[in-house]
Amino acid sequence: MDNRYAIVLAAGKGTRMKSKKPKVLHAVGGKPMVSHVVEQVQAAGFEQTAVVIGHEGEQVQQALGNEVDVVWQTERLGTGHAVKQAEPLLGNKKGVTLVISADTPMISAVTMQALSDHHEHSGAAVTVLTARVEDPTGLGRVIRDTRTGDVEKIVEHKDATAKERGISEINTATYCIDNEALFSALEEVTNDNAQQEYYLPDVIEILKTRGEKVSAWETPDASEALGVNDRVALADAEKVMQRRINEYWMKQGVTFVDPDYTYVSADAELSPDTTLYPGTILRGQTVVGEGCVIGPHSDISDSAIAGFTTINQSTVCSSAIGEHVHIGPFAHIRPETNIANGAKVGNFVEIKKSNIGKDSKANHLSYIGDADVGEDVNLGCGAITVNYDGKEKHLTTIEDGSFIGCNANLIAPVTVGKNSFVAAGSTITENVPGEALSIARSRQSNKEGYMKDK
């Protein structure tokens, strides 16, 4: 978007969060608040974005990567001072600048665009994003000129009269400002206040004193005004975000049996005719194909689930699951696992860093670690790949069509050949040829009458 710029304020410490982590890195919808804001700014098409960082700024910069320009506020001297740090980047540009806080993750790209459009059409020097809320206690009230509808003043709650406190329209602390007027007015902002800080809202009064017009645009969605200053507000933002995410996917054809008890991250991707049961958690960049049934109480993170798969009361992490797979209940799929089409992983089966071939089965009580399992393999109850020698992990290979009996231990590194059979209770330490029967257990011996004397 030509001649439109953005400054994202992300330098604050956030003492009310009572956390060692910078406030703006606390997650909403599985993503840091600052990332939400930056992504929406970018989606709105602003030409250049500067993020002002300060407290634990290295962490914030690492979270943002190379997506935006970063400027430092080395001393926390107020919001006006923070904006001024972007002057070397934006100070000589003509156009409009959006100033937004990184702790307002609910403001959408659509709202940012609408605010900027209104600002340009109004001819104002500054436009304030406002919202009407049911309980404006503690928030700054927007006092409009009854004749023109422009902003007459913004009054903080503690300074407002009884009549002004009855106003429900509040300042969201998000502004569109003529870029040249912004940096010009910042030169006149002083720190003559109790906190000895330079406040950005003082720019509004300075521009009004110059005879400039101050406009306001009210967002129709009051939830966008939610700023996060403590853990209570963080939880409130999470609820709003989850409702927004879940409603979006329901409109795309996904069934949420109980959306109030289903968590989907902001980066997840779902497909139509998938059903999510209560207690399901989809974290990170999880992708779920069409026609899947997930849950209840399944936890999936950063994984790809192909179509028509069922995952019931199980955990899947950083893995790829094929089509028509059935997992669970109570299975644990650990990172770097690939499960091919038609496979079945049953109750209390753990798989780690393994490939499970097409139509293979491990129906109960097995551990499969560092293994390459072919197609149409049956792993019996209690079958285990013994992959760790105390120092290193080793590979177990089970070729197509093999049958691994109950309670068999495969001591890696070892290969079980194609269409072979490992007898129940065997401990396999050497390779098994294809189409062979392998038995590695002690011969049964019965001592008759032994228990009579006991």
Helices (H), 17-142: 33-43, 57-64, 79-84, 87-90, 109-122
* DSSP letter for each residue of 2-37: TTEEEEEEE----GGG--SS-GGGSEETTEEHHHHH
Closest CA to 97 of 22, 223, 211, 200: 200
CATH number of 256-347: 2.160.10.10
Q: What is the pLDDT of residue 262?
A: 98
* Domain residue limits, the chain: 4-225, 256-347, 366-443
Ranges assigned E (strand) in 96-209 = 96-101, 126-132, 141-144, 151-155, 169-178
CATH of domain 366-443: 2.160.10.10
β-partners of residue 326 are 310, 344
DSSP three-state, residue 205: helix
For position 13, what pLDDT does the model report?
87
Spatial contact of 129 and 175, defined as CB atoms under 8 Å apart? yes
pLDDT (0 to 100) of residue 78: 92
Positions marked catalytic:
364
342 carries a ligand binding annotation: no
In this structure, the strands spanning 427-428 and 126-132 are: unpaired
79 is in an annotated binding site: yes
> Residue for token digits 């403590």?
230
DSSP characters for 294-357?
A: E-SS-EEES-EE-TT-EE-S-EEES-EE-TT-EE-SS-EE-SS-EE-TT-EEEET-EEES-EE-
Stretch (H or E) spanning 166: none
Q: Which pairing describes strands 275-276 and 255-256: parallel, antiparallel, or unpaired? A: parallel
Cβ contact 316:333 at 8 Å: yes
Q: Measured between alpha carbons, how far is 50 from 13 in angstroms, rounded to an integer?
A: 18
Domains 256-347 and 366-443 share a fold: yes
* pTM across the whole model: 0.91
**12 annotated as belonging to a binding site for a ligand:** yes
- Residue 10 assigned to a binding site: yes
What pLDDT shows up at residue 26? 97
Cα 359 → chain centroid:
33
- The dihedral sign for the CA sequence 87, 90, 92, 98: negative
Per the annotation, does 208 bind a ligand? no
103 marked ligand binding residue: yes
Q: What's the average pLDDT block by block, 10 residues per block, for the chain (454 residues)?
A: 89 91 96 96 95 94 89 93 95 94 96 96 95 89 90 86 92 95 94 86 92 94 92 96 97 98 98 98 98 98 98 98 98 98 98 98 97 98 96 97 98 98 97 97 89 80
Side chain identity, residue 128: V
Question: Would the annotation count 134 as a binding residue?
Answer: no
The CATH number assigned to the domain with range 4-225 reads: 3.90.550.10
Tokens (6 digits) for 212 = 């400039």
Cβ atoms < 10 Å from Cβ of 278: 14
pLDDT at 1: 57
CB 299 within 8 A of CB 278: no
